[in-house]
Structure 1
Amino acid sequence: MIVADGGAYEESGPVVRPYAMVRGRTRSEGYSFDLVAFVVAAVETVGDRVGMQPEHRAILKLCHVPRPVGEVAARMNLPVGVVRVLLGDLFAARAIRVREPDGPDTRPSIRMIEEVLEGLRAL
């Protein structure tokens, strides 16, 4: 994209690319990805499946190790919304598995954490 700036032209970068990458979609169909949910590849590759793009393949390669959605977006250098849509495609194709963060009721209580901290200080 070219922008006029006082007679000089500058390239403004990939403004439309993420939008085009997900074909204008703003939400993943069938699944809402929490920013801290862990994603792991369930297959080696998506091969030549219809609709799969290089970004889908890159996410699969990246997610051979479980990673949170936010980290996937950061490593892909893409907006989180775009990554969520791409993850939705992979989820629909059964190419990834998702592990949501544990709920607050499964976390240790503040009292328990304080007791452990006191025990460590006593060492």
Structure 2
Amino acid sequence: MSGGDTPGRLVRPFTLTGGRTRPSRAGFTLITTVTAVDPQPEAAARPQPEHTRILRLCERPMAVAEIAARLDLPVSVVVILLSDLLEAGRITAHPPRLLSRTTPDLDLLQKVRDGLGRL
């Protein structure tokens, strides 16, 4: 594990999620952007260390995939932890923006085709 954890520390993912295998909320993707709403809790229920680490990481917007990489945890576990934080009102989650174009960029497609042809 990274981020200052002691070497050799092994925590099973089901321990971090309380035995849950699915998030309580759907909608998180690898590129969903997460931002902490209140990164420094005052007198709330004592969060798990992983929740606290997520809140610190997300002081600035960060994608789910990057959070998982920095925590060195499976994405499925991170999504469950993020669902907890979202339900508690501690984070906001923004899905990726869809491109407004409805037609493909023909110039770009031509360049891609030409590039592939040169391979």
**Which bin holds the TM-score, normalised by the shorter protein?**
0.7 to 0.9
User: How far did 1:28 drift?
Assistant: 1.4
User: How far did 1:52 drift?
Assistant: 2.0
Residue 37 of structure 2: which of 28, 38, 42 is its match? 42
Task: Give the unaligned 5+ runs of structure 1.
Answer: 1-11, 116-123
Structure with the largest fraction of strand: 1
Structure 2 CA distance for partners of 1:68 and 1:112, relative to 1, 3 Å:
farther
Task: Give the unaligned 5+ runs of structure 2.
Answer: 1-7, 111-119
- Hey, what's the Cα distance between the residues in 2 that align with 1:42 and 1:13? 29
Residue 67 of structure 1: which of 56, 62, 69 is its match? 62
- Aligned runs of 1:14-33 on 2, under 5 Å? 14=10, 17-33=12-28
TM-score, with normalisation over the residues of structure 1?
0.71
TM-score, with normalisation over the residues of structure 2?
0.73
User: How far did 1:72 drift?
Assistant: 0.3
State the number of aligned residues. Answer: 104
Q: Moved runs in structure 1, 4+ residues, more than 4 A? A: 112-115
Residue 73 of structure 2: which of 62, 72, 78 is its match? 78
Q: Structure 2: which amino acid aligns with 1:55?
A: E
Render the CA deviation track for 1:20-64: whole Å, top value 9, x for unaligned. Answer: 111111121133311111111111223453362010000000001
Structure with bigger RCO (C-alpha 8 Å, 6+ apart): 2
Structure 2 CA distance for partners of 1:25 and 1:46, relative to 1, 3 Å:
farther
- Hey, what's the Cα distance between the residues in 2 that align with 1:112 and 1:95? 44
Percent identity between matched residues is 37
Give 1 or 2 for the bigger CA radius of gyration: 1
Q: Structure 2: which amino acid aligns with 1:25?
A: R
